[in-house]
């Protein structure tokens, strides 16, 4: 796959992940700071960058550290507490898994 294909794959993955974030934000009780789809795009981008940076850094326990950093970022971006960030992260994970399961079947 060429560079254009890789970029297209990245953009589609980002949009699908942002959609999962947006659904989670809509289902989570209360009002978050950035509940719009634009806020979901920002949240998905920040999460992807955090996990990408820790994956290339090869830090011991990098995934665990990235998860804590992601929860902190989610907390700050959406204006929720630590438990709210954890609940959102679980919802986002579930919706990403469901989308990852159903989208290849549909497409």
Q: Is the pLDDT of residue 83 over 60?
A: yes
Whole-number Å distance between alpha carbons of 64 and 49: 15
3-state secondary structure of 1: coil
Q: Is the pLDDT of residue 70 over 90?
A: yes
pTM: 0.81
Domain that holds residue 100: 3-106
Total structural domains in the chain?
Answer: 1
Mean residue pLDDT of the chain comes to 87
pLDDT tens, residue by residue, 19-67: 999 999 998 877 667 778 898 999 999 988 888 888 888 888 888 999 9
Whole-number Å distance between alpha carbons of 40 and 21: 5
Whole-number Å distance between alpha carbons of 64 and 19: 24
């Amino acid at each position: 796959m060429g560079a254009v294909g890789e970029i297209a794959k990245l953009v589609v993955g980002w949009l699908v992940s942002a959609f999962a974030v947006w659904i989670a934000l809509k289902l989570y009780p209360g009002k978050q700071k950035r509940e719009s789809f634009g806020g979901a795009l920002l949240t998905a981008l920040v999460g992807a960058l955090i996990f990408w940076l820790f994956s290339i850094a090869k830090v011991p326990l990098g995934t665990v550290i990235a998860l804590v950093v992601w929860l902190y970022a989610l907390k700050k971006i959406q204006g929720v507490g630590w438990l709210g960030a954890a609940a959102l992260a679980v919802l986002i994970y579930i919706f990403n898994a469901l989308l990852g399961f159903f989208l290849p079947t549909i497409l």
